[in-house]
């Protein structure tokens, strides 16, 4: 009996290409580490249930 789950789900997904070519994953990680558009000081996340709550909270925190 095969105990490796890759034999069952990898052949039917697009993820198998990443498993066959791990250099792509490394290249993507390197590119993500050097993002030019990333700003500094954004190391916290605040989740809200809706856009109106997010805008209200943003305005309260800006004052």
Q: What whole-number distance in Å separates Cα of residue 54 and Cα of residue 57?
A: 5
User: How is the chain split into domains, by residue range?
Assistant: 9-35
pLDDT at 34: 80
Residues comprising the chain, all counted: 63
Q: What whole-number distance in Å separates Cα of residue 24 and Cα of residue 27?
A: 5
Tokens of 31: 């590119």
The answer for 60, left when phi > 0, alpha when psi is -120 to 50, beta otherwise, is alpha
pLDDT at 52: 94
**Local confidence pLDDT in tens for the 63 residues of the chain:** 566 666 666 666 666 665 666 787 788 888 888 876 666 776 777 888 999 999 998 899 888
């Amino acid at each position: 009996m095969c105990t490796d789950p890759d034999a069952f789900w990898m052949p039917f997904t697009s993820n198998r290409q990443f498993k066959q070519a791990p250099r792509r994953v490394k290249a993507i990680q390197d590119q993500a580490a050097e993002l030019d558009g990333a700003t500094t000081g954004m190391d916290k996340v605040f989740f809200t249930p809706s856009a109106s709550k997010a805008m209200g909270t943003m305005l309260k925190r800006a004052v």
